[in-house]
């Protein structure tokens, strides 16, 4: 690792990410994304409930 990599890793490890967000260190770049919201989760649940992914016993 280089000194820059060490600094980025240190910053990343001490980063306090707000609730509902996800932080990743990808190829030396800090990437923050928002998590899925309630609408997304509801639509996913409805889709899975009505899809062929269900297993029937």
pLDDT one-digit tens code per residue, 7-25: 878 888 888 888 888 888 8
pLDDT one-digit tens code per residue, 37-52: 888 888 888 887 776 6
Burial class (CB within 10 angstroms; exposed 0-12, middle 13-18, buried 19+) of 25: middle
- Please enumerate in sequence order all residues whose Cβ is within 8 A of that of 17, keeping only pairs 6 or more positions apart, or say none: 23, 32
Would you kindly state where each structural domain of the chain is located, as residue ranges?
3-49
pLDDT of residue 49: 76
pLDDT of residue 6: 79
Q: How many beta carbons lie within 10 A of that of residue 12, not counting itself?
A: 14
Quick one: three-class SS letters along 12-57? HHHCCCCCCEEEEEECCEEEEEECCCHHHHHHHHHHHHCCCCCCCC
């Amino acid at each position: 690792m280089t000194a820059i990599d060490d600094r980025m890793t240190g910053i990343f490890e001490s980063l306090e990410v707000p609730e509902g967000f996800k932080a990743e260190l990808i190829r030396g770049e800090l990437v923050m994304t928002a998590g899925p919201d309630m609408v997304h989760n509801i639509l996913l649940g409805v889709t899975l409930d009505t899809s062929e992914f269900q297993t029937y016993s």
